[in-house]
Amino acid sequence: ILFTAECWIDLGNDLKALELLHSIDETSEHHLSKLLLLADLYQTQGLEEVAESKLLEAQELNPTEPIIWYALAQFYLSQANYYKASLFFEKIMKDDNPFSTDPIVQLNFAETLSMLGHFEKALPYFQKGLQSDQDLDGLFRYGLTAYKANDFEKTIDAFTKLQKLDPQY
């Protein structure tokens, strides 16, 4: 049912997807997956409050699940609620799980910290997350954060590298 609902979403038939997802019983072993998929669907429809309620319901059912922490962190980051996003990113970083070393998670946590004004604390996460020269936006945000942290050597290095990779940036 979950896979079929995802297919309906991909085909643009959100109503059919919702119908299928709501057919999954709360006692089902797939209830958490249903909640996460519903949250994603509602967020894409612009129903942020409903999406948040589905994510919080999922967290209430399984408060130790890192995928739910990650979903909440990403949700709050997309809402520019950096404080709440940082709380969930910090849980991910403290816990020994695969998300804690993922470069995208590292960069998103660094961005969150930077937006909260914790520039020095953000720099190591930027460095860990910038494993590829392909992430020009991440490299720019790293340079800007280094500048705000008064680490001008890192600023110059980042912007020089960025300029070499893409002179039009």
Instruction: Express each pLDDT in 60-79 by its tens digit.
Output: 999 999 999 999 999 999 99
Amino acid code (one letter) for 102: D
DSSP 52: H
Q: Kindly report, residue by residue over 17-39, the tens digit of the pLDDT.
A: 999 999 998 888 899 999 999 99
Asked if the model's pLDDT at residue 10 lies above 90, the reply is no
Token pair for residue 75?
A: 């949700």
Query: Rounded to two decimals, what is the model's pTM?
Result: 0.85
Token pair for residue 138?
A: 């991440």
